[in-house]
Amino acid sequence: MLDRFEGWLQCIVSHFRFDPSWDEGCPSCSAGADEMSTGLLEHLHVRDTSWLRLATPPHKLERYKASKGWSFPWYSSYGSDFNYDFHVTMDDSVEYSD
């Protein structure tokens, strides 16, 4: 995960809801992504912070991202344990303990 920091000391990870059965990302998540501007990224970088979006699945994500014109960093958690590790999955078969 450290390579995702892109040289910055801090990294904000934002989860983007995009179920593999969907053709488009979550409307609320999309609205938030629309607000990410070059100026806001520069503001974060001055504060030694990077920002990225994390979503799944990669093939649909790339198509959707291109259709929206988003150029900020995106990564896919598809096929990994990341969403389970951070309790951000909608898999009813997984029970979490506190």
Chain segment 48-95, per-residue pLDDT in tens: 888 888 887 778 888 888 999 988 778 777 777 777 777 777 666 766
Let me know if residue 96 belongs to a domain.
no
Which residues, including other chains, have CB under 8 Å from residue 65's CB and lie 6 or more apart?
74
Number of domains in the chain: 1
Let me know if residue 93 belongs to a domain.
no
- Provide φ and ψ at 80, rounded to 5°: -120, 175
Looking at residue 67, its pLDDT comes to 92
Looking at residue 30, its pLDDT comes to 92
Let me know if residue 94 belongs to a domain.
no
Specify which residues 76 forms β-bridges with: 55
Let me know if residue 95 belongs to a domain.
no
Let me know if residue 41 belongs to a domain.
yes
Report the candidate in 30, 37, 34 with the shortest Cα–Cα distance to residue 55. 30
H or E element that contains 34: helix 27-34
Amino acid at 3: D
Q: What is the CATH number of the domain that holds 18?
A: 3.40.30.10
Let me know if residue 56 belongs to a domain.
yes
DSSP annotation of 73 reads -
Let me know if residue 64 belongs to a domain.
yes
Q: Which residue in the block uniquely carries the two structure tokens 């920091």? A: 5
Domain of residue 60: give its range.
2-85
Count Cβ neighbours within 10 Å for each residue of 23-47 and write b for 16 or more, e otherwise: eebbeebbeebeebeeeebeebeee
Let me know if residue 98 belongs to a domain.
no
Which tops the pLDDT comparison, 96 or 57? 57
Chain segment 18-58, per-residue pLDDT in tens: 887 888 989 999 998 898 888 888 888 899 888 888 887 77
Looking at residue 11, its pLDDT comes to 81
Cβ proximity of 55 and 16 under 8 Å: yes
